[in-house]
Chain A
Amino acid sequence: MSINGNSSEKVLISAYLIIALFFILTIRIWQLQILQGSEYRKLSEENRLRIVRVAAPRGIIFDRNGIPLVKNTPYYFVSISPQNLDGLDISALAELLKMDKDVLSEKVKNRPQQNLYEPIRLKEGLSTKEIALIEARRSDFPSLAVDVDVSRDYLFGSTGAHLIGYLGKPNEFQYSSPDFRDVPSNAFIGQWGVEKLYDRQLRGTSGERIIEMDALGRELRLIKEKSPVRGDDVKLAMDIKLQKEAEESFGEKTGALVAMKPDTGEILAMVSKPSFDPNLFARGIKYRQWEELNQNKKLPLLNRSLQSQYPPGSTFKIITAIAAIEEGAIDVNTKVTCTGEIVYGKWHFGCWQKHGHGTLSLHRALVESCDVYFYDLGKRLGIDKIASYARMFGLGKETGLRIAKERSGMVPDTKWKQEKRKQPWYLGETFNASIGQGYVATTPFQMAQMMSIVANGGYIYSPSLLMADNKPAPLTKLNIRQETFDEVKKALSGVVNENGGTGWAAKSSMVNICGKTGTAQVVGMKRDSKYLPEMFRDHAWFVAFAPYEAPEIALSVMMEHGGHGGAAAAPIAKRAIEVYMKGQRLENRQTTH
């Protein structure tokens, strides 16, 4: 040996050390490739292959005459792939996208950990001008990509917005819900109205594209593609022409209108004023716009036809009248004399006609809407009988339409008062209830449904948003005699057509309209509405059906602070009925030819 004595020993030791080092490497390689190999293989596939869900074209929503109410439109957004973000010039990008620099860097940096490879959406709802700008600067930001989603164009804008609904981004809860598992993340889903209720049908089945990508998130090759299946179309029972006419006839007033087909339960119109533009939502609503809608004092997002309840006022007399005849409390000739008020103990219950109606029978009492006559009926019937009839007609309970979180209304009786108020029922309260005041409360939708049952002679149909292919079978028939309905219907025709009828404003030369006015008190004392500030004025009701002989449409009109029902709400009902009947006649002529 040429070097020092112990050197060969040292060489041997270093050889062992080196072998040990190699052994460590081998162990580590074994650990990565054998023990965790399949895990890493999966990761590498995920790295390279990306499953992109492709939203299916949404089904179209049509009105009952086949007029499309919505259109699918592209919705552009720009995203950036999360790899290779180093060296990204945030301020230049912020300038290009016209975004706040802090907001942008927040978006880029604070991405959720689990979506390491998912592109980060930077800005949505791009205009064509913005797209052109971004594409022009493409070479400066290679990992930027403009992509497209499907959104909606609501062709009639705010018309029918509460019914049709709108699309929006899924919320946290929906993200984790199994119902939306097959929905591409960030895709628009139905968030309100029919869009939400029938989302599953409309949505279709989303497709899948398995794409090979590089680290910059650029598509290299399409490996497998599953085409999306277009969603089913939905044909609404709604008549857009009727809906539009009804909304326009409200003008700037707030209120609601619900129209139904009495022989099927189909919902022809559902108006809630003021309305809103669903396109705002479908184009990615800005926070400021959302705030504005939410804080608007007139509550445009509230569906007043289902989500607001009001005392029905004199429209409720229809129920009292039917109950009185059916229960034998009176017959058609029973006469009551109205002196303008009825005195009960120390309380005076006035008629709206201060000078009194004189002596009248049920027919004229309905036509002239005499309060005193109905106080008398109330006294004869008792609140519990009135309440049971009200419930038969669907008042006081939810309709189960599921289109909005509806209110149930209120039908009081002695049991309710004892349980909830811990008080006995007073006769005075019966007087109030008989004319639809006091505790009684209904939604406009319930009143339309009630009118529909009166019109068809006691048949109850399940209310339907969708157009019925065949005439549906009624759920039940009320155990009320036909003669009772005939008597009441004759009187309701009189309300509009006879001299002195409170509903004279609905009188139409085109069709025999039957109806009943209602004025729901907002403040306790009766005062002449005209001189009150609007917020204290009474709510105006008008419930109607037409034509008298064979009803084709039943509706309710509710105008908040409209004053007297006959003056404010009846003309709206007339306009709505006329436009619908005109459409029907046109169609009939076409089908007969």
Chain B
Amino acid sequence: MTIYSATRPPLPNGTMPSYYIRQLYWAIMSILALLLMISFDYIWLKRASYVLYGLGMFLLLLVLLLGKTGMGAQRWLNLGVISFQPSEVFKLFYIITISRYLSEMQGKIGLASLLKTFFLLAFVPIIMLIKQPDLGTAIILLLVFLSLVIMKGLQRKAAALVVLISLVSVPFLGNILWEGLKDYQKNRLVAFLEPETDPSGIGYHINQSKVAIGSGQVIGKGYLKGTQGPFRFLPEKHTDFIFAVFGEEWGFAGNVILLFLYLSLILRGLDTASKAKDEFGSLLALGISFMFTIYFFVNVGMTLGIMPVVGVPLPFMSYGGTSLLANFVAAGILINIRTRRFTLFY
């Protein structure tokens, strides 16, 4: 719906936006996929995980070799009628595989096994993603990995390493501090560090996004009444900056409701994790919930100007078929785990 608004032509008599139609097809496919995901015991996922992981890695490799370029990055694979983004599919296989691997491990993770797990399961795909380059997904996969090993439990030395890795991601936190500075202070710093900074580049994106959201005020400008998106002030309006379009049209009230819906989904996921019948299900549910959380926070934080601009979509809302499909599949897995939480039925 918001994609329709985001991509509607600026004038009322324009043609139907093709993005909207395409996304609609993907949505139907996604719902079918979700139903499919509920229909079998997720234990099959555990069994198939290594095969899936291998398949995912193969797809990533394919992208690197013959992928289609879009927005300066090579993320798409063209399969005749449709092109899709293997990294979106891969992240699910990745979570499933890590969950299985960790669930088969006994007790807390020692330093050696942490490193072994990391290099076995996480290192290679993350490097491949960075090569694409899809830094956003790479960071999210790393964070999901870290949060899952924390949830599994770590021995002291291993914990120390995780803390160390977290410190490496301090620039991330630094960005939040960075936004706390006044504009002129930032300008000075930027001018100092990077004299070549293009004012109509990244700064322009964030600025326009903030203008869009801010101008929504309390109740928004109303559906289809937003101006920033359709008039092209907002770049990437139907993908990474879709939240800005939503915020402009629905205002604070709409945003709070949206945030509440996402939070409910995520908390439901956590609840599912604590109720799952086995450790695999539990870790899988956690992994998916964390993934949603990170995506949501990074994306919305970016449009609000408190996170750096990394190209990650907003789950369920951004344009992008594979992403939508993957998110629905992930939701399907959560439902699957929840419905099969009582072992005695089987």
Chain A positions within 8 Å of B, measured between CB atoms, are 1-4, 6-8, 10-11, 14-15, 18-19, 21-22, 24-26, 28-30, 32-34, 36-41, 43-45, 47-48, 82-86, 212-216, 220-221
Contact = CB atoms under 8 A, between A and B. Distances in A.
B270 A29 contact: no
A86 B200 CA distance: 7
Contacts of B200: 82-86
Q: Which of A21, A28, A41, A82 has the most CB of B within 10 A?
A: A28
B236 interface: no
B282 A86 contact: no
A260 B107 CA distance: 112
A29 B151 contact: no
A37 B231 contact: no
8 contacts: A2-B277, A14-B147, A36-B214, A41-B215, A47-B208, A84-B200, A214-B10, A215-B232
Given A32-B210, A220-B10, A47 B227 contact: yes
Contacts of B151: 7, 10-11, 14
Contacts of B266: 18
B334 interface: no
A549 B111 CA distance: 122
Given A47-B228, A82-B200, A214-B10, A14 B216 contact: no
A476 B208 CA distance: 68
B276 interface: yes
A41 B300 contact: no
A11 B274 contact: yes
B286 A33 contact: no
B259 A21 contact: no
B80 to A, nearest CB: 31
A33 B227 contact: no
Contacts of A10: 150-151
B202 to A, nearest CB: 11
Contacts of A4: 107-108, 152-153
Interface in B93-125: 107-108
Contacts of A30: 252
A44 B227 contact: yes
A26 to B, nearest CB: 6
Contacts of B247: 29, 33
A1 B277 CA distance: 8
Contact of A28 (B211, B256, B278, B304): B304
A169 B146 CA distance: 64
A31 to B, nearest CB: 9
B252 to A, nearest CB: 4
Nearest to B260: A22
Contacts of A29: 213, 247, 252, 255-256, 259, 304
Given A3-B282, A215-B231, A216-B232, A33 B306 contact: no
A82 to B, nearest CB: 7
B267 A15 contact: yes
A83 B198 CA distance: 12
A1 to B, nearest CB: 7
Contacts of A6: 153
Nearest to B234: A215
Given A47-B227, A221-B11, A22 B263 contact: yes
Contacts of A24: 306
Interface residues of B, number: 58
B259 A47 contact: no
A11 B304 contact: no
Contacts of A220: 10-11, 231
Interface of B: 10-11, 107-108, 147, 150-153, 198, 200-201, 204, 208, 210-218, 227-228, 231-233, 247-248, 251-252, 255-256, 259, 262-263, 266-267, 270, 273-274, 276-279, 281-283, 286, 289-290, 293, 297, 300-301, 304, 306
A390 B119 CA distance: 106
Nearest to B232: A215
B267 A25 contact: no
A424 B74 CA distance: 97
A18 B267 contact: yes
A329 to B, nearest CB: 78
B346 to A, nearest CB: 14
B270 A41 contact: no
Given A19-B263, A29-B247, A85-B200, A7 B282 contact: yes
A221 to B, nearest CB: 7
Given A2-B278, A11-B270, A18-B266, A214 B232 contact: yes
Given A11-B286, A33-B255, A39 B270 contact: no
A37 B217 contact: yes
Contacts of B232: 214-216
Q: Which of A33, A41, A214 has the most CB of B within 10 A?
A: A33
Contacts of B255: 26, 29, 33
Contact of B217 (A18, A41, A212): A41
A83 B228 CA distance: 13
B108 to A, nearest CB: 8
A34 B279 contact: no
A215 B150 CA distance: 46
A44 B228 contact: yes
A435 to B, nearest CB: 71
A44 B220 CA distance: 13
Contacts of B217: 33-34, 37-38, 40-41
Contacts of A212: 231
A213 to B, nearest CB: 7
Contacts of B251: 33
B293 A21 contact: yes
Given A3-B279, A48-B227, A215-B232, A22 B259 contact: yes
A8 B274 contact: yes
Contacts of A213: 231
Given A3-B282, A25-B304, A44 B259 contact: no
Nearest to B103: A3
B252 A34 contact: yes
A200 B173 CA distance: 59
Contact of A37 (B216, B267, B270, B306): B216
Nearest to B216: A33
Contacts of A216: 232
Contacts of B248: 44
B270 A44 contact: no
Given A11-B286, A25-B259, A47-B233, A40 B153 contact: no
Given A40-B213, A85-B200, 18 more contacts: A2-B276, A3-B283, A6-B153, A8-B274, A14-B147, A18-B293, A22-B297, A25-B297, A30-B252, A32-B214, A38-B217, A39-B214, A44-B211, A47-B208, A47-B227, A47-B233, A48-B231, A214-B10
Given A14-B147, A15-B270, A33 B252 contact: yes
B188 to A, nearest CB: 14
Q: Which of B150, B211, B228, B266 has the most CB of A within 10 A?
A: B211
A29 B233 CA distance: 20
Contact of A40 (B215, B278, B293, B297): B215
